[in-house]
Amino acid sequence: MAAARKFALRLSDELKEGDIRINALRERFLTIGQAKVSTSGEEAFALGYLRRGTDEVIVSRAHQLAYAKECALDLWEKGYTKPPMRTDIKVLGREGLGIVYIGANTMQSGNYISEHDTLISQKLGHVLCGGDLSEPTEVSEQYLLDLERKTFLELCMQRKTLERLQSIITSGKVLRN
């Protein structure tokens, strides 16, 4: 679910006047909805998991921890404080939810995903679109965080979700139920 909130924020930042919003939403939704995994740092940038100019890739495992520590100390020395939560995140509401629901239901009808995958996809889309808002709206990070938390807890009340979590914890593999 955290990816949905972060992708909502990034989608909002990337949208420019005149863009076809649904296409951009679809690309973000498919990335997290299909659980696309990057096989390299470069691919993580291409998928939108990492951001150019903000995130860095350190390939050498031997240097990762030392570099992270160096960066953390540098931030501390410069007096870093957490930035205030944003209140200007544009979400698509029902305009985007329609695409999410059509896509998820089409994938299920074609036997590409299970009924539970459809539910998860719809919940991800719900967060990504900012919920059941009647029109594109600006919301706050706190609004999205609250929506994400509520949605995650709703999924955790599903037996099939708990079975999937148990499978990941015990075997490291995703259960398709």
157 in a structural domain: yes
Give the pLDDT score at 1: 63
Number of separate domains in the chain: 1
Task: Give the SS3 label for residue 92.
Answer: coil
52 in a structural domain: yes
Contact status, residue 127 vs residue 148, Cβ threshold 8 Å? yes
Contact status, residue 113 vs residue 121, Cβ threshold 8 Å? yes
111 in a structural domain: yes
Residues of the chain with pLDDT under 70: 1, 18-19
The number of beta carbons lying within 10 Å of the beta carbon of residue 168 is: 12
145 in a structural domain: yes
User: Buried (b) or exposed (e) across 34-67, using 16+ Cβ within 10 A?
Assistant: eeeeeeeeeebeeebbbeeeeeeeeeeeeeeeee
Give the pLDDT score at 22: 81
176 in a structural domain: no
166 in a structural domain: yes
pTM equals 0.81
101 in a structural domain: yes
Give the pLDDT score at 144: 96
Domain hosting 143: range is 2-171
Measured N-to-C along each axis, helices 115-128 and 2-14 cross at an angle, to the nearest 10 degrees, of 50
Could you tell me what percent of the chain has a pLDDT over 70? Answer: 98
33 in a structural domain: yes
Tell me the H-state helices in the chain. Answer: 2-14, 21-33, 41-47, 61-77, 94-109, 115-128, 141-156, 159-171
**What is the per-residue pLDDT across 47-98, written as a single tens digit (0 to 9) for each?**
888 889 989 999 888 899 999 999 999 999 999 999 999 999 999 999 999 9
